[in-house]
């Protein structure tokens, strides 16, 4: 069978060469996904997109090797080698090729993990390993039972369909069993639910075992019926589904959850001077919290400090604690969005928008909703103008306003120029500002005049 082993190696090399080209295209397309930068978990998870290639290559290679062994009719006569030894000898080259594709995809993305303080998730790597093994043995079983012209395309289609379609079904456990949804992770303030990873490992690991047992019916010579082997394989497959469904029963549509704020490092900003009633008065500085590696340039805290100070000068009383995570705003805390590649202006804008919040949904007419939306957009425009400076210009993030809409708030916008120079708002503008903010947050507050 020496020619068989040579053909096996040749097939693996051809499949690897083709698959690596596709994997490079997939990985290159992800380079611009900025949120994976500086976070090993995100980089590891995003490399999972290449499973579309590596699992497909494994399924095709498994079908080729299964067809090749089927042509020798191993189960029609006794043979000296054990069946598992023959199967491993036939499958390991293509398995190594598929895993290498996955590893090289990870290495390509790892160049964007500079400055990361965490480590690659070995549990996630194990999940990808079991997924490739599952697809390899799926193709192998098809090859053992069908002609190459049928088994190879069915193996590829099955692999692609299972990975891609299971991600979109409303029965969420199927998404986690297929495992591709694990690549939908993660910004630096997010992490993967461990149940999602364990579901992928349990289903694909046990599923691979079931396929390996089922393959024995075509590899082992025996005059007795193969009923016992088939029964064990089915039992393992059912157990794999049951365990995986139980593990993922509490999961939602995506596996991403917020990281615990206990992992954050908090520090008080500089002592802030605020102005009110024409006199200087001192205020306690805010506490600003980041995850390790989230503020690599150490400029986010400075921008948040400046914006917070301006909001306080406006008399808006922003929360004393700023968390760089997408947590729900509370009376004492406000969450801002920040990734290692965010700009200080983006982080400052996030503080303004998260402090204001989204407009409440009220039971009102379309005309009333349009006025409420205009009030919200004008308020954000005003605050971004008031808190922007030469070195921190956030006006580019302001919601768009029509010329006629801007003209209605001309006097309010004009007052921001004097405020930015260190002055105070006049009483009319200050009253409009506070009233507008209350109207955004409550349906019971009427819109201020001019909105």
Domain spans of the chain?
Answer: 2-258, 261-356, 366-441
Residue 34: per-residue pLDDT:
57
Q: What confidence tens digit (pLDDT) does each residue in 157-216 have?
A: 999 999 988 877 888 999 999 999 998 888 899 999 999 999 999 999 999 999 999 988
The H-or-E segment that residue 2 falls in is helix 2-30
Residue 414: per-residue pLDDT:
83
Compute φ and ψ for 384, nearest 5 degrees.
-70, -35
Query: Under a CB-based contact definition with an 8 Å cutoff, are residues 433 and 409 in contact?
Result: no
Residue 317: per-residue pLDDT:
87
Residue 221: per-residue pLDDT:
64
At residue 288, the 3 state secondary structure works out as strand
Residue 373: per-residue pLDDT:
87
Residue 348: per-residue pLDDT:
94
Residue 323 pairs with which residues in a beta bridge? 289, 335
Query: Under a CB-based contact definition with an 8 Å cutoff, are residues 319 and 330 in contact?
Result: yes
Residue 390: per-residue pLDDT:
78
Query: Under a CB-based contact definition with an 8 Å cutoff, are residues 190 and 327 in contact?
Result: no
**What residues in the chain have per-residue pLDDT under 70?**
1-13, 15-24, 26-35, 73-81, 83, 221-224, 269-283, 329, 449-451
Query: Under a CB-based contact definition with an 8 Å cutoff, are residues 434 and 448 in contact?
Result: no
* Distance, C-alpha 349 to centroid of its chain: 23
C-alpha 131/C-alpha 208 separation (Å) is: 8
C-alpha 172/C-alpha 327 separation (Å) is: 24
Residue 324 pairs with which residues in a beta bridge? none
Residue 217: per-residue pLDDT:
85
C-alpha 12/C-alpha 389 separation (Å) is: 60
Residue 281 pairs with which residues in a beta bridge? 274
Residue 92: per-residue pLDDT:
86
Q: Model pTM?
A: 0.83
Residue 90: per-residue pLDDT:
81
Compute φ and ψ for 201, nearest 5 degrees.
-65, -45
Residue 75: per-residue pLDDT:
55
The H-or-E segment that residue 265 falls in is strand 265-268
The H-or-E segment that residue 272 falls in is strand 272-276
CA neighbor of 58 nearest in space, from 154, 143, 138, 178: 138
């Amino acid at each position: 069978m020496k020619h068989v082993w040579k053909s096996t190696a040749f097939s693996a090399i051809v499949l690897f060469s083709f698959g690596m080209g596709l994997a490079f295209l997939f990985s290159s397309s992800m380079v611009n996904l900025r949120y994976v930068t500086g976070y090993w978990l995100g980089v590891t998870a995003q490399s999972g997109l290449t499973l579309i290639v590596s699992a497909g290559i494994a399924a095709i290679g498994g079908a080729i090797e299964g067809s090749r062994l089927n042509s020798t009719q191993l189960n029609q006569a006794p043979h000296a080698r054990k069946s598992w030894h023959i199967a491993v000898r036939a499958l390991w080259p293509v398995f190594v090729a598929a895993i290498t594709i996955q590893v090289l995809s990870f290495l390509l993305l790892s160049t964007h993990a500079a400055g990361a303080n965490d480590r690659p998730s070995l549990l996630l790597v194990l999940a990808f390993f079991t997924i490739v093994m599952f697809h390899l043995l799926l193709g192998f079983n098809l090859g053992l039972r069908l002609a190459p012209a049928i088994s190879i395309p069915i193996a590829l289609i099955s692999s692609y369909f299972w990975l891609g379609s299971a991600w979109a079904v409303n029965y969420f456990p199927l998404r986690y069993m297929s495992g591709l949804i694990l690549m939908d992770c993660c910004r630096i303030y997010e992490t993967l639910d461990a149940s999602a990873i364990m579901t992928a490992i349990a289903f694909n690991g046990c599923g691979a075992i079931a396929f390996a047992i089922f393959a024995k019916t075509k590899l082992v010579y025996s005059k007795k019926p193969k009923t016992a082997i088939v029964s064990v394989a089915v039992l393992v497959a059912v157990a794999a589904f049951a365990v995986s469904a139980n593990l993922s029963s509490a999961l939602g549509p995506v596996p991403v959850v917020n990281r615990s704020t206990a992992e954050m490092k908090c520090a008080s900003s500089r002592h802030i001077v605020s102005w009110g009633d024409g006199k200087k008065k001192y205020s306690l500085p805010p506490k600003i919290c980041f995850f390790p590696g989230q503020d690599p340039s150490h400029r986010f805290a400075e921008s948040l400090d400046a914006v917070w100070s301006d909001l306080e000068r406006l008399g808006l009383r922003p929360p004393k604690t700023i968390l760089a995570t997408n947590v729900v705003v509370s009376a004492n805390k406000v969450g801002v969005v920040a990734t290692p590649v965010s700009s200080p202006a983006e982080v400052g804008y996030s503080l303004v928008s998260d402090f204001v919040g989204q407009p409440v949904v009220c039971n009102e007419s379309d005309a009333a909703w349009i006025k409420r939306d205009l009030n919200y957009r004008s308020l954000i425009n005003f605050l971004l103008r008031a808190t922007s400076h030469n070195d921190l210009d956030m006006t580019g993030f302001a919601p768009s306003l029509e010329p006629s809409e801007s003209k209605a708030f001309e006097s309010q916008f004009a007052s921001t120029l004097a405020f930015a120079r260190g002055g105070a708002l006049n009483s009319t503008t200050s009253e409009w500002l506070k009233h507008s903010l209350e109207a955004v947050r409550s349906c019971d507050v009427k819109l201020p005049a001019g909105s």
